[in-house]
Structures are given as structure tokens and as C-alpha cells.
Amino acid sequence: MPDRTPAVPVRIDPRGPRFAAGLTTLVLLLVLATSSGVALVAQAVVFALGAILGLRWSPYGWLYRRLVRPRLGPPQELEDERPPRFAQAVGLGFAVVGAAGYLSGAAWLGIAASAAALAAAFLNAVFGYCLGCELYLLGVRGRARLNHG
């Protein structure tokens, strides 16, 4: 299987994904408070745009670039976009499962999936710890071991 990784990865301001995680935390709190499958579908669309098209195409990324970043100094460093994009894909999976739960009447599934996504978003927003990013890095390390082992 050919490697489709770009030669030079896209580099991003690491504060953007944390801002997005903060907004995601608020949306997921709303979802859990209202049991709204529709709100979770909207969050799934946000996750999908970030995962598939890139973080700059996510509505939260756009808000960060337009409203927040101009008020901040430049970032001290940039980071590879691939781990946060993978994290968006993981969030998308939880949002799709949760929305299916809420919309089909299996509220327990909606609550469980939304709560798991909320925990991950909260960790990123408050502590800067991205669970999806760590999963991505574990996968990269595992693949490297298989290729060189």
C-alpha cells in the first residue's frame, strides 16, 4: 500500500485545536443536557470537515483564524496537522454513533458516545492533552515497528 503522506506535512498553530476543543466541549454539554441528536449531527459535520478537508476548513478553525488568532501573538511553535485531524476522525466516529443512538431511541448509546467524546474534548481544551492525537502517534510507532521489525 503506497504511503500517501505529504512530503511536507501541514503545520498549524496548536492553539487552534484547543480552541476548537473548547467549543466542542460546549456543544457536547448541550447535547448531553438536551439529548439532541440533531445538535450531535451538527457536531459530526464539524468533525467531518476537519478530518476530511483539514482543520482550516472546519468552522471552528475558521472562527479561530478570524476572531481569536488576530488578537494573540504568533505561536511559539507550529505542530503537524495530522494528529489533530485524526482526532477529528475519532470524534466523528463517536458523534455518528451517538447521533444514531439519540435518533433511533437508544438514548443510552447517545449518552455514552457523547460522554466519551466530551471527556476527550475537555481534556484537550483544559489540559492540552489530545487523546486522538496520542492514538495517532501510537499507530505511527506501531507501523514503524512492523516495517522495521
Per-residue pLDDT, 8: 82
pLDDT of residue 13: 97
Domain membership flag for residue 3: no
> What pLDDT is attached to residue 5?
54
* Domain assignment of residue 1, yes or no: no
**Distance between CA atoms of residues 9 and 109, nearest Å:** 36
Structural domain range at position 51? 12-148
In the chain, which residues have pLDDT < 70? 1-7, 149
Q: Classify 128 as helix, strand or coil.
A: coil
What pLDDT does 146 receive?
A: 87
DSSP 64: I
Domain count, the chain: 1
Q: What would you measure as the largest C-alpha separation in the chain, in angstroms?
A: 50
Q: What's the confidence (pLDDT) of residue 149?
A: 66
